[in-house]
Amino acid sequence: MSALRDGAGEAFDELVREAAAAVLEREPGTLAYACSEVGGAPNQRLFFELYTDRVAFDDHGRQPHVRHFLSASGKYAGNGASTASDRMPASPPPHPHSGSQGPDFRYRP
């Protein structure tokens, strides 16, 4: 989650739109990349990112458009802002119900 300074939302959102377009166009290992305003908190944004694997995640962080976004987004940061993404563990813990690595996202009617 990112906290923005007052009045920075529109400019930050434009920066996100530019970054998201580049991510989705140039990073085949990125399955989802989205940012949303937090309801009732117009100066907060929540990011959701999903990658095919750890390699795709690491590759994402090395892309020029991502590095530009991280550098440019700092000027919109408010108090308590977190512009650095949390790193996922190298190996996700086993899902308690599937016995396999990582979460079990299978559809069950």
pLDDT band at residue 28 under the 50/70/90 scheme: very high
pTM of the model: 0.71
Residue among 46, 63, 3 at smallest CA distance from 71:
63
- What is the pLDDT at residue 7? 94
For the stretch 58-74, pLDDT in tens is 999 999 999 999 999 99
Q: Can you say how many angstroms the Cα of residue 72 is from the centroid of all Cα atoms in its chain? A: 15
Residue 90 banded pLDDT, cuts 50, 70, 90: very low
Considering only residues 100 and 38, tell me which one the structure prediction assigns the higher pLDDT: 38
How many residues can be counted in the chain?
109
pLDDT at residue number 99:
52
**Higher-confidence residue: 30 or 99?**
30
DSSP per-residue string spanning 36-89: EEETTEEEEEEEEEEESSHHHHHHHHH-HHHHHHHHHHGGGB-TT---SPPPPP
Mean pLDDT score of the chain: 82
What domains are there in the chain, each with its CATH number?
Answer: 2-76 (3.30.70.100)
pLDDT for position 108: 47
